[in-house]
Structure 1
């Protein structure tokens, strides 16, 4: 089972056709090509930071005594982007005015969309309450941190 976060655009209502489903899981593409993956998802600052850290790791990997540390730094960068990349996408959309409408556990995206459509009948779209993540209730900041744990009280 995977967890999908359903985000609705600014001004949208629950059950909106433009809702975006973000699967919260390890991303192999982000692991293999972290900078390109971040650029594709328009996370410019994170891509620049990942590029700088990887350049530092590659420079250290060429040094005879720091080679293993440089390789470890590159591997850590790849792993962090692969694990936290979907959370970075959600944080970026939230800063742009999108809201998290639902959190759905499903086997695949099609099943998640079916569950979301069943939860939001056509007549009840106005009365449904918005889903709140634990971090949004406790943090005075506009968004949760993007590195490490993303502010969830209970973890993932």
Structure 2
């Protein structure tokens, strides 16, 4: 099963036909061709940064002592874009005013679209209202972040 994020444009309601569905997973194309993948998805700044880091890694790879470090920098760039590329696309859309409307687990994109567009707004509201809150939300006592992680209410 894969996870799909459904984003709606600014001012749109749930179930809008202009919604974008982004699959949140590792991308082999982004791993093999990270800069081209970012340019294809119109992430211009990320593509320029990835190109600069890869150029730096290639320049370092030519050095006889630091050659492996340069290859490591290039590999890290490829992995970062392949793992976080879809998240970068979602973050870019959110900066432009798009909102995440739903998170759907499905086998493929067609199934995710079917689930999203056949769900009635009344059923969605009923499901979202019946979600139980975590224990930390219902307790009057404030809890510190666990394992060094930032808590949700404290911000970043």
TM-score (norm 2): 0.77
Q: Distance in 2 between matches of 1:21 and 1:60?
A: 39
Q: 2:102 maps to what in 1?
A: 102
For structure 2, which runs of at least 5 residues remain unmatched after alignment?
129-149
Contact 1:14 1:125 in 2 (8 A): no
Q: 2:117 maps to what in 1?
A: 117
CA RMSD in angstroms, aligned pairs only: 2.2
Q: Distance in 2 between matches of 1:105 and 1:127?
A: 18
Q: Count residues with an aligned counterpart.
A: 133
TM-score (norm 1): 0.77
Contact 1:6 1:100 in 2 (8 A): yes
Change (3 A) 1:139 1:43: farther
For structure 1, which runs of at least 5 residues remain unmatched after alignment?
130-134, 142-156
After superposition, residues 36-115 of structure 1 pair within 5 angstroms as 36-115=36-115
Contact 1:14 1:120 in 2 (8 A): no
Moved over 2 A (4+): 124-129, 137-141
